Amino acid sequence: MSQSSAETDSQTLANLSHEDRRFDPPEELAAHANVTAETYEEAKADRLAFWAEQAERISWDEPFTEVLDWSNPPFAKWYVGGTLNAAYNCVDRHVEAGHGDRVAFHWVGEPEDDTRDITYAELQDEVCKAANALAELGVGQGDRVAIYMPMIPETAIAMLATVRLGALHTVVFGGFSSDALATRVLDCETKVIITSDGGYRRGSPAALKPAVDEAVAKVEGERPGLVEHVLVVRRTGQDVEWNDDLDLWWHDVVDEASPEHTPEMFDAENPLFVMYTSGSTGKPKGIVHTTGGYLVGTSYTHWAVFDLKPDTDVYWTAADIGWITGHSYIVYGPLANGATSVMYEGTPDTPHKGRWWEIIETYGVTILYCAPTAIRTFMKWGAEIPEKFDLSSLRILGSVGEPINPEAYVWYRETIGSSRCPVMDTWWQTETGMHMISPLPGVTSGKPGSAMTAIPGVSAEVVTDEGEIVPNGSGGYLVLTEPWPSMLRTLLGDDERFKDTYWSKYAEQGWYFAGDGAKKDEDGDIWLLGRVDDVMNVSGHRLSTTEIESALVSHPKVAEAAVVGAADETTGQAVCAFVILRESALEGGEEAPDDLIEELRNHVRKEIGAIAKPRQIMIVPELPKTRSGKIMRRLLKDVAENREVGDVTTLADSTVMDLISEGVKGEK
Ligand code: WT7
């Protein structure tokens, strides 16, 4: 546990206690809300009965016989004995219910006028064709498929086709590097990779296929024959290298396939997908989600937290499918609910800074869900940009990924939501699969900056290091005290790490340790205070300090590296690296040239992806270490955040910080 968290927490706590604005639910909304205040009581009175009732939103082939089997904690089984098909639930059943003509996705490509509306009936055809094609390529229950794609409809279609066959997907964010892709393909043992030639980003086609080619070459070196096929969607039409042994065009194999496919039913606990996320060590964790509980959890929360009315709402999660937010709230939750969603391929400033607001005006978007980092960027660009557009269709706003600071919350509510739309600050994680702590739009009086309380059916607490529940007005660690349907089931291939990471700290109490600091205010409402482990949150994306440190050290000129997340006005936190160079890197002790720093920044980008590229690299002669050799990142964080350096008494060599501070000052 880093000590820096405690210090930052007390500062944040002091700031937060001044917040006394409250925003009541709009009367009209409250009068017709999907969820009312009584639901909390009902769920509390009988949590399992509540989750049994929520399971009715899903279509089961065999009904389940037990809601939760918690006889072997922390390994949960939800909806025991039930069988279902996830793709059938997300697609076919809506067509059968007469909603085939309803639009599932208003897809908006980045180039203007490059749009496609896909109805549920069309989605059914596409998913069935892709499922038949994948089955033809030998994909079946338990097999793994990697999906490395831009934000195009085929990404969702590929996911649904995979799970329709009982296989698992692992979607790798298209912004990740070939190395990141190769690592995940190897860990997940995927036999098929689905990708595209490229996608549009910032006005021009960005290639994806070359990264896949590199990844495949790397995988071939370690596990020859593991990848059997690479299925390539043609999106941009750019030239691609072609490997006749592996590569197949999507349009050759999928377009020719039959649109008829009878879904097989799978056990509720059949694994659905693996999503990799950063932990506090360098090796990404493969979070495993399973079918029944995940679908119940995501569809319930999407309906409850966004007050979804599938007949009239136009819903938009402005995130990438390559993150859990996209899985739960672009694909599975909205589709299970038969919602109409917007899916947007590109960046918010292409071809102009009003692109999001134009999309909202064009499609009459009623619910917008995005990250605080995006909101802060729009704030910087100025209110006059959204004010040019008609945003009157909006009725609910959502926020996810990091704490939303009160200023951003209020700006979002006023400028985007015309001071009318409630803001849902949703706290959850890749591991939780679904929203856990959030206001509800028809019930909660919102406080800017607080995620408020656990949603019905979820139990969260703030506790001390020793596991005592803190009184109102105090801070501690966030725990989840009861299992929930869409909880992760394990880490792929590593039950021990699963137990260690989440369940060992409060093993006695049987609580899930989330890794976040939190505070309960005087009303008992929860304020999230950020990670307490060596995990950073950059633009709502989780990055591990160790992972970036390993990337830096893999550069031949780097001897040692320490990485911290420093406060950043736009991205929440930014990557700051302290690097000791190898002696051979500097001839005769000269200063590190700027181009070497740029080279190192780009090296991280190549190793992990653009999101991990350090904002700042400082070349230092030493790193602050304890006597046991642990790097004291809290001190480096002080430097990165231009603060007076804190207590250095536990350093093996207390003069080290002077050396670092001097060097860094000299640099500026
Ligand atoms: C971590 C999970 C959940 C999808 C996006 C990120 C932070 C997430 C909030 C919020 C404060 C938040 C936490 C959490 N976080 N949402 N509303 N308020 N912090 O998923 O990559 O799994 O990261 O993001 O620190 O532990 P993730």
- Percent over 70 (pLDDT), the chain: 95
Mean local confidence (pLDDT), 123-145: 98
* Length of the chain measured in residues: 668
DSSP state of 91: I
How many whole angstroms separate alpha carbon 417 and alpha carbon 423? 9
One-character DSSP codes across 429-464: -TTT-S--B---TTT--B-TT--BSBPTT--EEEE-
How many whole angstroms separate alpha carbon 668 and alpha carbon 658? 16
Residue with the nearest Cα to atom 23 of ligand 1?
429
- Percent over 90 (pLDDT), the chain: 83
| Band of pLDDT at residue 451, cut at 50, 70 and 90 | very high
Residue with the nearest Cα to atom 6 of ligand 1?
401
Note the pLDDT tens digit of each residue in 165-220. 999 999 999 999 999 999 999 999 999 999 999 999 999 999 999 999 999 999 99
Residue with the nearest Cα to atom 12 of ligand 1?
402
Q: What is the pLDDT of residue 622?
A: 87
Output helix, strand, coil percentages for the chain, rounded to the nearest 5. 35, 25, 40
How many whole angstroms separate alpha carbon 533 and alpha carbon 529? 12
How many whole angstroms separate alpha carbon 71 and alpha carbon 417? 46
DSSP state of 90: I
Note the pLDDT tens digit of each residue in 385-443. 999 999 999 999 999 998 898 999 999 999 999 999 999 999 999 999 999 999 999 99
Q: What is the pLDDT of residue 9?
A: 45
Domain ranges of the chain: 27-517, 552-667
* Residues near ligand 1 (Cβ within 6 A): 277, 324-325, 400-403, 425-430, 451, 514-516, 528, 530-531, 537, 540, 542
How many whole angstroms separate alpha carbon 435 and alpha carbon 432? 7
Q: What is the pLDDT of residue 16?
A: 56
Q: Please measure the distance between the N-terminal and C-terminal CA atoms of the chain and give it in whole angstroms.
A: 32
Closest atom of ligand 1 relative to the 515 alpha carbon = 26
Question: What CATH number does the domain located at 27-517 have?
Answer: 3.40.50.12780
Residues comprising the binding site? 201-204, 325, 401-403, 425-430, 516, 531, 539, 542, 553, 555, 558, 605
| Band of pLDDT at residue 8, cut at 50, 70 and 90 | very low
Q: What is the pLDDT of residue 592?
A: 67
How many whole angstroms separate alpha carbon 120 and alpha carbon 397? 25
| Band of pLDDT at residue 10, cut at 50, 70 and 90 | very low
- pLDDT > 60? residue 377: yes
Tokens standing for 300? 């319930």
| β-sheet bridge partners, residue 118 | 105
Closest atom of ligand 1 relative to the 514 alpha carbon = 26
| Band of pLDDT at residue 477, cut at 50, 70 and 90 | very high
How many whole angstroms separate alpha carbon 438 and alpha carbon 448? 12
User: Residue 502: which of 402, 425, 430 has the closest Cα?
Assistant: 430
How many whole angstroms separate alpha carbon 575 and alpha carbon 565? 5
Residue 60, SS3?
Answer: coil
Residue with the nearest Cα to atom 8 of ligand 1?
401
Q: What is the pLDDT of residue 442?
A: 97
Of 3 and 465, more confident: 465
User: Residue 440: which of 5, 18, 40, 67 has the closest Cα?
Assistant: 40
Closest atom of ligand 1 relative to the 438 alpha carbon = 17
Residue with the nearest Cα to atom 17 of ligand 1?
427
> Which contiguous run of DSSP H or E holds residue 546?
helix 545-553
What amino acid is encoded at 361 in this protein?
E
How many whole angstroms separate alpha carbon 350 and alpha carbon 354? 8
Note the pLDDT tens digit of each residue in 19-60. 789 999 999 999 999 999 999 999 999 999 999 999 999 999
DSSP state of 264: P
Q: What is the whole-number distance in angstroms between the Cα of residue 428 and the centre of ligand 1?
A: 5
Residues comprising the binding site for Mg(2+)? 553, 555, 558
- pLDDT > 50? residue 5: no
State the ipTM, two decimals: 0.99
Q: What is the whole-number distance in angstroms between the Cα of residue 403 and the centre of ligand 1?
A: 8
One-character DSSP codes across 365-405: --EEEE-HHHHHHHHHH-TTTGGGS--TT--EEEEESSPPP
One-character DSSP codes across 266-318: EETTSEEEEEEE--SSSSPEEEEEEHHHHHHHHHHHHHHHTT--TTT-EEEE-
Q: Do 27-517 and 552-667 have matching folds?
A: no
CA distances from 334 to 255, 306, 349, 607, 668 (A): 26, 10, 26, 34, 49
Q: What is the pLDDT of residue 587?
A: 60
192-196/285-290 β-pairing: unpaired
Q: What is the whole-number distance in angstroms between the Cα of residue 198 and the centre of ligand 1?
A: 29
Residues comprising the binding site for ATP? 401-403, 425-430, 516, 531, 542
User: Residue 563: which of 549, 552, 547, 551 has the closest Cα?
Assistant: 549
- pLDDT > 50? residue 2: no
Q: What is the pLDDT of residue 631?
A: 82
Give me the residue label for tokens 């590569």.
Answer: 247
Which of 276, 400, 532 should be mutated for ligand 1, with most atoms under 8 A from CB? 400
**Angle CA 152–155–159, to nearest 5:** 160
Q: What is the whole-number distance in angstroms between the Cα of residue 144 and the centre of ligand 1?
A: 26
Question: What CATH number does the domain located at 552-667 have?
Answer: 3.30.300.30
Is residue 537 within 8 A of residue 572, CB to CB? The reply is yes
What value does the mean pLDDT of the chain take? 93
Q: What is the whole-number distance in angstroms between the Cα of residue 415 and the centre of ligand 1?
A: 24
Q: What is the pLDDT of residue 101?
A: 98
Phi, psi of 232 (to 5 degrees): -115, 120
Q: What is the whole-number distance in angstroms between the Cα of residue 516 and the centre of ligand 1?
A: 9
| Band of pLDDT at residue 499, cut at 50, 70 and 90 | very high
Q: What is the whole-number distance in angstroms between the Cα of residue 219 and the centre of ligand 1?
A: 31
| Band of pLDDT at residue 15, cut at 50, 70 and 90 | low
Q: What is the whole-number distance in angstroms between the Cα of residue 431 and the centre of ligand 1?
A: 10
CB < 8 Å & 24+ apart, contacts of 223-227 = 223/186, 223/189, 226/185, 226/186, 226/189, 226/190, 226/191, 227/185, 227/190, 227/191, 227/192, 227/193
How many whole angstroms separate alpha carbon 492 and alpha carbon 535? 20
How many whole angstroms separate alpha carbon 175 and alpha carbon 190? 19
Is residue 560 within 8 A of residue 597, CB to CB? The reply is no
Buried b (16+ CB within 10 A) or exposed e, 189-214: bbbbbbbbbbbbbeeebeebbebbbe
Note the pLDDT tens digit of each residue in 549-568. 889 988 999 988 999 999 99
Residue with the nearest Cα to atom 18 of ligand 1?
403
Mean local confidence (pLDDT), 2-11: 42
Q: What is the pLDDT of residue 126?
A: 98
How many Å is the Cα radius of gyration of the chain? 24
Biggest CA-to-CA distance, the chain: 77
